Amino acid sequence: MNAKNKNQTIDLPSVSEMYRALCDRNCQYEGVFFVGVRTTGVFCRPTCPARKPKLKNVDFYSNANDALAAGFRPCKKCRPLEVFGAAPEWLNPLLKQVEHDPSRRWSDSDLRKMNVEPTRVRRWFQQNHGMTFHSYLRSRRLSTALGQIRVGEKTTGAAFKNGYDSLSGFRDAFKKWFGDTPASSRDQGGPISVNRILTPLGPMVAAAGDDGLYLLEFADRRLLETQLKRVKRVSQRAFVPASNPIIEQAEKELAEYFDGNRREFSLPIELIGTKFQEAVWKQLMKIPYGQTVSYDSLAREIGHDGAQRAVGRANGDNRFAIVIPCHRVIRSDGSLSGYGGGLWRKRWLLDHEQKRLF
C-alpha cells in the first residue's frame, strides 16, 4: 500500500489515519486524499458508499490526477472527478425548473412525472439545506415577495406574483416565516440569504445580507448550526435559502483563491463579536498569505500578552473560514493545533499557500 505518489507535493495523513477515515466515510477528509482500489481498478472519495476494500489492496493519492496517472478509473458511485457536494445528475433537471419558475408549486405527482422520486428529493434537500423541498420552495417564494415589497410592490401584487391564491394565506405564511407582517417588514432590513459554495475541500455555507457577509463555514463543521443561530439572534433577521450578489462575490473570490490567483479577499464582512474577539479577527486578517504566527505572538499583537487560550477560543469562534485566515495560527513549536474545519484542511490550506509563494 502506498501513502504517497512520487509526483505528489502535499503530505498525506498516515496510512492508518486515511484507512480509518475511509472505513468511517469521514466527510472531513474530502479533498485530502483519494483511494485507488487495486482489486477493482477504480479510485474513490473517502466517503464512497461502496463496500470497503482491505487495507492491503489500496493506494492513497493526494489528488485525482495522480490516481488517474496510476491507471485507476473514477468510481461511478462516488464520482471523484466531480466537485464534492454538487447536486447529483438526477436532480439537475428539477433544479433548473425551479430556477426558471420559482413561484411554481410542485406536487409529488409533478416530481414523479419527471421520473424523480419525492422521497429522494426530500432527503437530498434535508441533508443539504436543512429543510424539505417544499419548505425550500416556500422560503424562496416568500423571500422574493419580501424583496418586491421593499421596493414598492403592494402586498396583494407580491402575493399573487409568487403563487399565493389568497392574501390571508400569504400574510399568515409571511408572518410565520419572517416573524412580522408584510407591511411592517417594508422598511426593515431584508432577510439573510444562505447558500452553499462548492470548493475543492468540500461545500461551504455562506450567509449574507445586502449589507455584508455574516458567515462562511465548511458545511460539515460541528459548530455550524450554533454559529447560524448566533447570527440569526444578533441580526434579528430571517434566513432564506437563496443567493445574492455578496454570496456570488464570495464564490468568485474563493474560486480565485483555490486556483492560486487570489491572496486577499475584498468581501464586506459583518464581524459581530465582543471587543476582544473582533480585535483577534482583525489581527488575523493582517497575517500575510503563506505565513504563520503563534498564539503567543497573536496575543501580544493585540496587547493581551499571555492570553493565548483566549486567543485560541476567539479563533474557534471565527465565522469566516479562509477569508479570516485562522488556519495561519499555529503553536509556538511549529505544530498544528485544532481547526474548526478539520486539522487536515488546515494542513491543506497552509500547503496550498506555501506552494504559491514562489
- The CA angle 190-195-201, to the nearest 5 degrees, is 145
- What is the chain's alpha carbon radius of gyration, rounded to the nearest angstrom? 23
Burial 281-320 (b: 16+ CB within 10 A, else e): bebbeebeeeebbbbebbbbbbeeeebbebbbebbebbbb
Distance CA 273, CA 313 (A): 12
Told to judge if 326 belongs to the known catalytic residues of this protein, a careful annotator would answer yes
Query: Residues 6 or more apart from 22 whose CB is under 8 A from it?
Result: 35, 46, 48, 52, 58
3-state secondary structure of 294: strand
Strand pairing category for 58-61 and 34-37: antiparallel
Element (H, E) at 158: helix 155-161
Give the residue carrying C-alpha cell 409533478: 110
Of 226, 217, 236, 250, residue with least CA distance to 319: 217
Helices 133-150 and 118-129, interaxial angle, to 10°?
60
Told to judge if 27 belongs to the known catalytic residues of this protein, a careful annotator would answer no
Q: Are 152 and 110 in contact (CB under 8 A)?
A: no
Give the residue carrying C-alpha cell 493506494: 59
Identified catalytic residue from 48, 75, 78, 326: 326
Of 333, 274, 277, 285, residue with least CA distance to 310: 277
Report the catalytic residues.
Answer: 44, 326
